[in-house]
Structure 1
Amino acid sequence: MSVKRIGILTSGGDCAGLNAVIRAVYAHARGHFGWDVVGIHNGTAGLLARPVEATELDDRVLGSDMLRQGGTILGTTNKGDPFAFPMEDGNKVDRSAEVIAGYRDLHLDALIGIGGDGSMAILRRLAALGGINLVTVPKTIDNDVGVTEESIGFETAVQTATEALDHLQPTAASHSRVMVLEVMGRDAGHIALSAGIAGGADVILIPEIPYRFAAIEEKLKALRQRGRNFALIIVAEAVKTEDGQSITAVHSGGGKGARTYGGIGHYIGEEIARRSGAETRVTVLGHVQRGGTPEPKDRLLGSAFGVHAVDLIAAGKFDRMVAWREREVIDVPIEAAIAHYQAVDPAGALVKTARGLGISFGD
């Protein structure tokens, strides 16, 4: 096929490294192939707008400041599924045809979508319905996209959580406290596990491994017997209560029934204080993990993914997701990547490492 003009959009929650992908796509597509690159604003919402909200990218995106800038210059959205778009009257309408029409209005030959598994599933349905030549790039701080060993945004989120533990440790020791740090992790505990090991946590709680407060109390008791006057606990937001209940909250502006995880850290802290009498303090990182300057790994991964995505278009290989495996950029069918999310393996290397270091999972 003859390619002259491609589009790129970011979809789902923002994270560090997105702008590195955009920069790499433009640099390779424009510099090597001479293609025009159109940046679509706010994910599929930009394609729903009339006129379509998009900008033809130029050499300004080649600046090294793009590598250092968090978030996404194109904007993004994690709501408004075009196949079940929420209307003001409360009904949900299929607006997928409008998204496809918006894509056609831009006269594009192919589309690069940067997103997590949910975004990729929607984009793949749109591509199949509208004959869109689609290539995707995995991004999620949760690192739960299947097939790829790492997604854009994960490394920076882990660094942020590790730094939080670094800051909490001295004040925990100074005041003889148990510090509980709640981190993101929609369904998987990768951030809590990696940061917990790197940051010297005593207890790591993740959704993949059920816990008991009795086991946590045993760990805290053992620390005291060794002369330690403090403890660090890191917990993923998707961890349930001991009896298996999820803790969620409604955020303002999220619309009716828009609930997200949040509050498990306070539950853990209050229960530990009640059961053991320990003085506890809770810190919730929240969206601090999404923003900030991207770590070098996210800049490198984003750059490598962007270049490979352009090469896939040049080769006429579509319905593919770029991925990282064994220190190489590869590509796999999108269907395989979104077939299942990548949870923490309770028998995996990092869990074994943590246990070998004496870290408790509360089990």
Structure 2
Amino acid sequence: MTNKTTTILGNPRTIVGLLVALGILIAGFWGSLVAAWGYAFFLGASAFWGIAIFFALVFLFTKYIETNKLRRLCKIFFLIGLWSYIYCIASFGGFFTSEAFLGNVDYKYIIFGPTVLAALGILEYGVYRALITNNRPTFNRYRRFLSRESIDHKSLRKTLIDDVILHKSLYKVSFIRWLRHTLILWGFAFLVLTELTRVVFQEAFPAFGLPDVWHIPGHPVRLVIGFLYDFFGLMVTVGCVIAIGWRIAIGNSEEKKFSDTPTVWFILFVMISGYLVEALRISSEPMDAWYIPIEFVGYLIALPLVGHSDNFMKYYDALWLIHVIGSCLFMAYIPLKRAIHMFATPFGRLMNSQLTILRDKRNTILSHLNGRDR
């Protein structure tokens, strides 16, 4: 680790990049930046990483575009996205620290900011460690067998659709396990995408001076995002309830090894606390507005609270903190427990679909063993 760190820091471009990040951080502390800088870097990082992922998918799943050109494009856009992400954190870190000292930031966000940064750091390091560091010996063993020409693109595409997206192999084993897994995984994935979309419309656009559609009652963007929050959150919640019911049903049978009850309860806690926060907010608004029921789960929970919102709203900030800190703790929890398999398992499935590469490696090992025997 020390040698790698020394090599990275010995790269003049890296040093320049880090100095720029430090300069952005100091400028933010000094009050010379506005929030738009951070959101610009955030959107830039998202766009550049999206392009890098697109070229990586072209590389893996098709034979289009020359191989070395694709590698260069992937590397360039990934690195630009990485530096944009670093500058995004530096911008927000400097800006919001300055605003906090000036008393312009609500105490909830003073708590939330460092918490989410720490959670993201743990999540990113954990995913990198699980996918890259722990698999580096395997990569090294297969390196000479890995080339774009040796990839069976058709098998890779089939495995992506059947096993990674649709989980057909799990469906054949158990419908209940498939259902709970699909609801939780894809509900959670789309919740993350919905949250990123919310950040763009609620926070980034106003920071750029664009219309603040989020605070326009009944605006279609706000309604669509609110509905998607409830819909995907309900998917996750139903998946968790099914998982808990299934775990109770199987008791101490051999199938219990396929359960991860602590993670399921953790997710369920985050979902329920989020719905309660939403219900409190809705109960404080005019309930006769036509658009209120669109956030249907929060609306149903809010109905019994109507007329008592003044009593319950005093708990809103505390409940909001419980929800967001719980969400951050779950992010940090993912790489520490079995939930990391949501990243690692697809990796393994795709690799195991490459029978030619696996066969070549096996034959090479056997030929070496036969040579030793002689």
The two structures have a TM-score, normalised by structure 2, of 0.26
Higher relative contact order (CA 8 A, sep 6+): 1
The structure that is helix-richer by fraction is: 2
Give the number of the structure whose alpha-carbon radius of gyration is greater.
2
The two structures have a TM-score, normalised by structure 1, of 0.26
